[in-house]
Structure 1
């Protein structure tokens, strides 16, 4: 959800969209915050209608008999609640923020799973039950029993800490820290928290222990560690407290602890610029702007003015004329930013609607002597002005002259595509030439598709034949799907896969992996998927080295590690997945494209937005990784920004999108939502996608574009037209990231329709309309 904040460049990567390249942090388990703990239940608990049983399209795991049916663990407490649903003895309702569970069904409930469920409900009252469960687990005769016992003991320590019993919490956590290296960092953090305020030295020692180990960001976010260190250093009166406080204020200024740490701190001009940059990355644009405005009278006024103008141009996007004026001031100052300011002024003028002034400004940059370092950028965007004005012949003439530099490849594409849009006879030859020199299959298919479309203008039969050939070669590609939509009766069909659950079993021989198999099995059965994933992560390299693919797949499913399940399936069955889905390979496709967190997907599907939509966006955004976090701080399965989540909550409270929210649970209402919690993330992301669907008429290409680039950007691309061909609209999306996002997301949805939806390829592909209705409708605008 980041392209809206990028530069308005036709092939720019400026959207902060390197999200998928930097995953790896999970929200801190909330041992010291009962509110947060209540908002982070095990993803294994099912709800509502979905508690009746696993989805038919989910892989069956066998053995063990207490298996998680689709990678989500349904703890014994929840299973018993399902059996007793009619009796009223157990209430299980998914709210998205939490699962309301009354798991105390005595003899019919596994005491281990029940203890874990009670911790999820209220950690401060669950310590005794967890200690008893840990003793019970320790007495089991199986390879993973001691690991389960350690995990339960650690939860008991967190429960004691939540209840204020610091000494007991410290004792229990120290036991785990010394006994189980794989849980040692998390246990050490409990020691660090429990030792305060009385024993600050022990707290610092525990924090130093954590710092000496590999980063364990899944459980221990850096700002939480720094906050605890600051508290300990302050109590111990360590001089380093000032440095820690400054680091929090500089590196995490958008967080509550960062704001608190900044009180009374005097920052240098350079540090204030750093804070502004960090605030911008966190998308707290108002705070970033305020920081920069405070520097306009400093010795760095020129730099602050430049950054303020760029913030307005690329992020705030409210006053482009004002941004142009600021860039002009920077240019007149003749400082180091002057050349870039002259170029960016031209861009700001264009965005303000003053096309003539923008053209003159670009020409001035191109004519600079000595040549401006931005002359290549200016040359490309001067050509793009002609393209945006639909003067395609003139645009092509300008683009074709750009043969080197960073914009050469994009220019050659726009030169050829402009000829097609101008309906020039030479368009086909230009596009064919691009197809022959294309660096990869996606670029080649794009050129071949439009070359065939160009041929159709003069020879409909020959053009149709070329298009059908493309669909036959790559039926699941964006361009293959476009052809199928245009000629549904002429392309080869593809039958749906069976929706019955495939069987995913452990192989007979698991030599050498007995312990990790039993550990993951027991932890998952207890509802401790986060612990199971941690244990599995420790064994992942050995599983890969010994090519234990089936074992890894089963363990990934038990642990609810859909990201690993999908990734390893793609790696191990690349040839199968490069072909069309077939019935005999259904299980491979179901593992490669799992319906992750299916109960939550079903719970938050709405009119116009089904579980397959949510699964497709989840795959595209995070690859099913609930701990995913981007450099821009987009979080979780659907990569929601904290500020976007807050806006969703406000919009829901105000009744925006009410027609798609009539049956929505009210679980996420107050307080900052825990976006690392899959249930919370899916609830909020599902609401937002449904609201986008309502605004854009349920048209998937527009919904996808709006999710990535923002609704205002998408509406600005309508240009007052009532409708447009889908292929032309998508190809003209000016952000490369958004353009490719729409294509890939559409491909994912079609695959899900065939693999899990019981749909033929023809039916699934109907999600891509041949033309788009560009009616401007009211609705969400963030």
Structure 2
């Protein structure tokens, strides 16, 4: 229920327009037999809010009644000592929220008062009243109140939530005719809402009661197809079977395939593979057979069942179906991953028979070049890279191919040729993600040739791209004077810029104002939703975006804030091409989980390294699921979590447990500790193993471990892992710098 949601912490608030001045007061209220003294209405309210947070903890443990009563007493003290103040009105509303579960009748009284005192939150207060009425069993009044919210507050963001709850309320009031329309609309508007399966089950029940048996059966099937992981799916099949007079229901091939797609969207690849195979067996001539086979192959790749995937792609590529071209690219990837270079090179004979796009051709040529380079067949590799550069003209593959050509010259000691290629790449139209990289290796090649201009190139690199991984490498190699330094506490403005005057227009928007009030009530999730609704509207307002991203971060919506900052301010934050205000550094490098990380990290693991992994793995999205099925903040694979739990003597950890932030961090930190120990404290190798797995990284270390750390990174065969290592190491050193710690070592392969 909405009113039962956790009231979360407010760490700090930068909204001066709401700060009220008042004469000093000293009050004392009981809190676990301890006295509290506060001086102003705001101080007293915030102290009460803090205790409210403490009695609404995460987890399922029951809260002691005396602790709830203590929080309520504090809130009442604010109202008694500061009657009529804004803070007293907030205290009254928060009292209602605290009472909603334990005493919904009293909660309604407080909500009614707040409805008069705080019209800005009219839609939320009406929702909370309705929730309380539902708890009291008055479903009809609750439903009527919910239906009136969109009309009373036309700009509300609660319309869909109201539809879900209104449909449920009419359902509980045995008013199915009224419930069905709301439930259908709610699911159509937000099919991913967590309560959607339950809403569909109620809808199907109403349809059956209304003698719309065929519609009810269709809805039961939709639950099974679209929400296969939900408990309601098995219940839907049970009720469907009952409606068929006990006859076993057998899904059609289309229904089986729809369920498989739902599993794929959830990254539940084992289940998806099983359903796709059932579909293929049941529908040999189906029009979606080629699409299904391609999805089957990619799911098998995610499961690392490469032998099976290879056969699927091989058969599909040979069938000249619409998906054959994509299958050929996937087949090339599998051959490379399995080390079957001869078969990879033999694909050249197949390519002429397929209608591959230029980018697909370039991709396969690049994969062939990677194999040849790894085997030391450098001249042939260069030929493939040059073909890829030519085939990829105008695509993202061209710059990658040019980079590989320059790097291959460098690693084989042809430094003059390498310098020429890197020079072209750093100056050409491919300037972008490869420019810092090309400049760095241009300097390294110059250094190898004992050219004194190498130092100038390092300086140029860091002046243009101060916050990149490659500038960090440059700083490890030489002293670079005159660079702008930025910390979380302050930033040096770019030349010719001046601080903005006045407050951005967004702070006058009603959704912004609602977000501020919700945040002051500890309703951070809803505050974040109100703020997120403004992003598109103020996309061209730089000051407004800064304000939004800052308040999103303060509201605990670290993922949304970080994405917003990266989308609009990446150049300044991660390359250094423009000035950004100090507040954005806190947004771009969240530290809220550092206490949790430190609680689980021993002396081996630097908490800032874990923070960097979270930043690059999930962008601080606790609900993130990767395409291969990694879960949560640190993107832990369920199998890895189980292995770590067994080794550490922890209870069994299931997939759903990994969505819990503390559990995910605990497991991820322990796993990183194991990796650092396995790879002798080398963060480069440990981070690579976190992404690609320890066995394969062990082979890379055996082959290239003698190379300098920056060269080792560039020699990582998997592009995904290579880029991942660079991103994490960059973020790691940025976290250290912004935290005022710096890095005590001048070696990439040492923990700071």
- Work out whether 1:528 is the aligned partner of 2:523: yes
Q: Distance in 1 between matches of 2:714 and 2:62?
A: 43
Q: Which has the higher contact order (CA 8 A, sep 6+)?
A: 1
Q: Do the aligned partners of 1:138 and 1:146 also contact (CA within 8 Å) in 2?
A: yes
| Cα drift, residue 211 of structure 1 | 6.6
Aligned match of 2:664: 684
Write out per-residue CA displacement over residues 696-721 of structure 1, whole angstroms, 9 at most, x where no aligned residue.
34655455545555666655644565
Q: Distance in 2 between matches of 1:108 and 1:166?
A: 32
- Work out whether 1:758 is the aligned partner of 2:745: no
Q: Which moved more, 1:191-200 or 1:92-101?
A: 92-101
| Cα drift, residue 228 of structure 1 | 4.3
Q: Distance in 2 between matches of 1:521 and 1:245?
A: 41
Aligned match of 2:34: none
Q: Do the aligned partners of 1:188 and 1:206 also contact (CA within 8 Å) in 2?
A: yes
Q: Do the aligned partners of 2:399 and 2:425 also contact (CA within 8 Å) in 1?
A: no
Provide the secondary structure at the position in 2 that maps to 1:291: helix
Aligned match of 2:244: none
Aligned match of 2:127: 154
Aligned match of 2:400: 410
Aligned match of 1:103: 68
Larger Rg: 2
TM-score (norm 1): 0.71
Q: Distance in 2 between matches of 1:568 and 1:372?
A: 36
Q: Do the aligned partners of 2:6 and 2:57 also contact (CA within 8 Å) in 1?
A: no
Taking a change above 3 Å as real, the CA distance of residues 707 and 59 of structure 1, as seen in their structure-2 partners, is: farther
| Cα drift, residue 131 of structure 1 | 1.6
| Cα drift, residue 284 of structure 1 | 1.6
Q: 2:8 aligns with which of 10, 29, 43?
A: 43
Provide the secondary structure at the position in 2 that maps to 1:201: helix
Q: Do the aligned partners of 2:468 and 2:575 also contact (CA within 8 Å) in 1?
A: no
Provide the secondary structure at the position in 1 that maps to 2:740: coil
Aligned match of 1:427: 418
Aligned match of 2:224: 249
Aligned match of 2:242: none
Provide the secondary structure at the position in 1 that maps to 2:647: coil
Taking a change above 3 Å as real, the CA distance of residues 93 and 152 of structure 1, as seen in their structure-2 partners, is: closer
| Cα drift, residue 148 of structure 1 | 3.5
Aligned match of 1:180: 153
Q: Distance in 2 between matches of 1:514 and 1:338?
A: 52
Question: What is the total number of aligned residue pairs between the two structures?
Answer: 684
Q: Which moved more, 1:580-589 or 1:434-443?
A: 580-589
Q: 1:463 aligns with which of 454, 464, 467?
A: 454
Q: Distance in 2 between matches of 1:60 and 1:464?
A: 43
Q: Distance in 2 between matches of 1:377 and 1:584?
A: 37
Aligned match of 1:447: 438
Q: Do the aligned partners of 1:134 and 1:149 also contact (CA within 8 Å) in 2?
A: no
| Cα drift, residue 410 of structure 1 | 2.9
- Work out whether 1:205 is the aligned partner of 2:171: no
- Work out whether 1:398 is the aligned partner of 2:384: yes
| Cα drift, residue 418 of structure 1 | 1.4
Aligned match of 1:726: 709
| Cα drift, residue 391 of structure 1 | 3.0
Residue correspondence of structure 1 range 175-574 to structure 2 within 5 A = 176-181=149-154, 182=156, 183-197=158-172, 198-208=174-184, 210=186, 215=189, 223=197, 225-238=199-212, 239-258=214-233, 260-261=235-236, 265-295=249-279, 297-300=281-284, 303=290, 306-307=293-294, 310-311=297-298, 314-318=301-305, 320-328=306-314, 347-359=333-345, 361-366=346-351, 368=352, 377-402=363-388, 403-405=390-392, 407-425=397-415, 426-459=417-450, 461-487=452-478, 489-490=479-480, 497=487, 513=508, 519-537=514-532, 549=544, 552=548, 556=552, 559-562=555-558
Provide the secondary structure at the position in 1 that maps to 2:434: helix
| Cα drift, residue 335 of structure 1 | 6.2
TM-score (norm 2): 0.74
Provide the secondary structure at the position in 1 that maps to 2:264: helix
Q: Do the aligned partners of 2:589 and 2:735 also contact (CA within 8 Å) in 1?
A: yes
Q: Distance in 2 between matches of 1:217 and 1:271?
A: 17
Q: Distance in 2 between matches of 1:103 and 1:443?
A: 57
Aligned match of 1:134: 111
Taking a change above 3 Å as real, the CA distance of residues 543 and 506 of structure 1, as seen in their structure-2 partners, is: farther
Q: Distance in 2 between matches of 1:754 and 1:727?
A: 20
Q: Which moved more, 1:408-417 or 1:215-224?
A: 215-224
Taking a change above 3 Å as real, the CA distance of residues 109 and 444 of structure 1, as seen in their structure-2 partners, is: same
Q: Distance in 2 between matches of 1:457 and 1:546?
A: 47
| Cα drift, residue 633 of structure 1 | 8.4
Taking a change above 3 Å as real, the CA distance of residues 414 and 270 of structure 1, as seen in their structure-2 partners, is: farther
What is the CA RMSD across the aligned residues, in angstroms? 5.0
Q: Do the aligned partners of 2:378 and 2:408 also contact (CA within 8 Å) in 1?
A: yes
Structure 1 gaps of 5+ residues are 1-29, 32-36, 46-53, 68-73, 84-88, 774-782
Q: Do the aligned partners of 1:505 and 1:554 also contact (CA within 8 Å) in 2?
A: no
Provide the secondary structure at the position in 2 that maps to 1:442: coil
Q: Do the aligned partners of 2:293 and 2:316 also contact (CA within 8 Å) in 1?
A: yes
| Cα drift, residue 315 of structure 1 | 1.3
Q: Do the aligned partners of 2:143 and 2:169 also contact (CA within 8 Å) in 1?
A: yes
Q: Do the aligned partners of 1:43 and 1:529 also contact (CA within 8 Å) in 2?
A: yes
Q: Do the aligned partners of 1:657 and 1:694 also contact (CA within 8 Å) in 2?
A: no
Q: Distance in 2 between matches of 1:639 and 1:657?
A: 18
| Cα drift, residue 478 of structure 1 | 0.8
Q: Do the aligned partners of 1:365 and 1:378 also contact (CA within 8 Å) in 2?
A: no
Aligned match of 1:780: none
Structure 2 gaps of 5+ residues are 22-41, 80-88, 239-247, 492-498
Q: Distance in 1 between matches of 2:580 and 2:533?
A: 33
Taking a change above 3 Å as real, the CA distance of residues 576 and 380 of structure 1, as seen in their structure-2 partners, is: closer
Provide the secondary structure at the position in 2 that maps to 1:385: helix
Taking a change above 3 Å as real, the CA distance of residues 618 and 230 of structure 1, as seen in their structure-2 partners, is: farther
Q: Do the aligned partners of 1:499 and 1:758 also contact (CA within 8 Å) in 2?
A: no
Provide the secondary structure at the position in 1 that maps to 2:433: helix
Aligned match of 1:49: none
Aligned match of 2:245: none
